[in-house]
Structure 1
Amino acid sequence: MNLYSFGKWLCGTYFKAVYKPEIIGVENMPETGGVLLCANHIHNFDPPLVGVASPRDVHFMAKAEIFSIPVLKSILPRVNAFPVKRGMSDKTALKTGIQLLKNGKVFGLFPEGTRSKNGEIGEGLAGAGFFALKSDAHIVPCAIVGQYKKGKKLKVIFGKPIDFTDLREQKASAKEATQLIMNHIAQLKKENE
């Protein structure tokens, strides 16, 4: 068992024991090909929760600062995380993301770029739209609904892939593409609250 599989099992065991998350729409995740998996962001546990809920291994960007912590520096790459320098255009991270999608991997992203303080969905940054437009990947919206509190409902909902054909042909802006993704996430959240 590799470290990713072990981590998924460990986190899954913890989440089931403490939060009992309901996972909906797993059948909407394409079985093959590149997938840009875009979710809202409400808690530090979102990446492992989405990773546990996904039927396929997920690669995530993580802020570069945590890669300088000695113990995490060696663990993070082994659990499919790669660094991104926040607040600037990080060309290396952008290339890594595009390459993952071209190689048929699942690339998980939180388009808001930061956690929501009140649980409401915020405005998405252009990065998600950039990856959606620059690749032929399936774009799967994902909503995390509820609270990370014992006894409270917590759900992870995978939506149907978003058809990006028109936006790609129209050469839409990254911001427009992100807005479409955020609209789908918001709709999933609304339908499952």
Structure 2
Amino acid sequence: MIEPIFIMTSIAPYNIMHQAMSDLGVTSCGKYTYSIAPHEICSPYHFWMNVLFIVNGITLSVGVLYLSQYLKKNWLNKLATVCILTFAFGNIVSGFIPADINLFWHSIVAQIGMITVLFGLWIYAKLLAKGKRWTYFNLFVLIAFLILIILLFFFPLPAGLLQRLFYGVIFLWGTVLTILLND
């Protein structure tokens, strides 16, 4: 909800369909500010965007820990929670390490989290009494988005949009699941 403010304040043109969210957290201006960004980037409020990544990761972590209390206390549920927390940790790392500072560390934990979150949701879906169908639905949507993201290496797809949709589905899943579990 806050990201549009950073998009509007970008000095360089910003394409929400094709540019990654991380571009708004890049600390320098110019072309090729990091190796896979040939476009012009200049986000004067990059510090606050990176803070937003960290806050998103923390709030997602709190939400997942809250949801985990509805599951039986066993190793499989703990594994599922850790898988989803890995995704949240990727947000936090991305905020502390902008793409132009170290692209590998900025990206690797987030990419691992995009895989582990699928396993976490799958385990949650299998074990939840309420919200099972909702969780399965979101899992299948996320798998479809991940396949499209992988296809970016072969086809010109809207990378920025796919990334936002992937993250949005996870936040929507958690919000709705919280409501379902509290009924």
Scaled by the length of structure 1, the TM-score of the pair is 0.29
Of structures 1 and 2, the larger Rg is shown by: 2
Larger relative contact order (CA 8 Å, sep ≥ 6): 1
Structure richer in helix, relative to its length = 2
Scaled by the length of structure 2, the TM-score of the pair is 0.30
